[in-house]
Amino acid sequence: MRERADRVIPQKAITVAIEGPPSRRSYGVIANISTGGACILTDASLPLGQTLEVELSFFREPAIVPAAGRIVWISGHYQVGALRYGLEWDAGSRDARLTSLIAQALQ
């Protein structure tokens, strides 16, 4: 059994641009984030199991952080525009810069 990473609820907004079929570029915000993945709030309709390329924008961080992950759970209702997606990072997305920015999100 895999150990669950500690989740951080950001004190400052982390926005996300989502690339990946079936939709075009979509936008959302991070509800919580960890070194294992993130919970994304968006009105985009994305399928379970979909691999996404995302660009994370951390508060007062000048450079966008690219990452990739797979949707492992979905909750909410599209009709009210409140969809939550659980994204598990791909192994290549778990780099030192992302880990450092996640730790800074606590502050």
Q: How far is CA 78 from CA 6, 18, 40, 55, 60, in A?
A: 28, 17, 14, 22, 31
pLDDT digits (tens, 9 = 90+) for 17-57: 998 666 678 999 999 998 899 999 998 888 999 999 999 99
Please state, in angstroms and rounded to a whole number, the distance separating the CA atoms of residues 96 and 107: 18
**Most confident option among 7-21, 31-45, 85-99:** 31-45
The pTM for the full model equals: 0.83
Give the strand pairing for 65-77 and 26-33: unpaired
Task: Specify the DSSP class assigned to residue 11.
Answer: S
**Annotation: CATH topology of 14-104:** Thrombin, subunit H (2.40.10)
Please state, in angstroms and rounded to a whole number, the distance separating the CA atoms of residues 92 and 60: 24
Phi, psi (deg, nearest 5) at residue 86: -90, 120
